[in-house]
Amino acid sequence: MRPNNQTEHAKYLRGRIAGFSRSRTPDDPEYIEARTELAVSNIAEFARVAANEAPPMTAEQVDRLTVLIRGYLGGDAA
C-alpha cells in the first residue's frame, strides 16, 4: 500500500530501498525501480515547491520546462 502524502511516499520508498539493499543485488529490477521512483518523487517535490514559489508562468515558459523534462526522459524535444 502506497501512502498518499508526498513526504510519506518518500519515506516509504526509502524504506523499500533500505530493505532491497540488504537482500538484493544492485541490478535487481525491483531495487532499481524503487531507486528510480524515489528520484522521481524528489524531483517532483522540488518542482512543486519551486512552482508554488514562482510568479505565474506564461504558456511559453511552461512549454520550455516541458521540453526540458521530455528531453531528459529521451522524448521528442523538438
Domain total in the chain: 1
Predicted confidence at residue 6, as pLDDT, reads 73
Residue 25 maps to a domain: yes
Residues 40 and 16: their CA atoms lie apart, in Å, by: 15
Residues 5 and 54: their CA atoms lie apart, in Å, by: 22
Residue 47 maps to a domain: yes
**Domain housing 25:** 6-72
Residues 42 and 48: their CA atoms lie apart, in Å, by: 10
Predicted confidence at residue 74, as pLDDT, reads 66
Residue 77 maps to a domain: no
Burial of 6 (0-12, 13-18, 19+ CB in 10 A): middle
**pLDDT tens per residue, range 18-61:** 999 999 999 999 999 999 999 999 988 898 899 999 999 999 99
SS3 73: coil
pTM of the full predicted structure?
0.72
SS3 58: coil
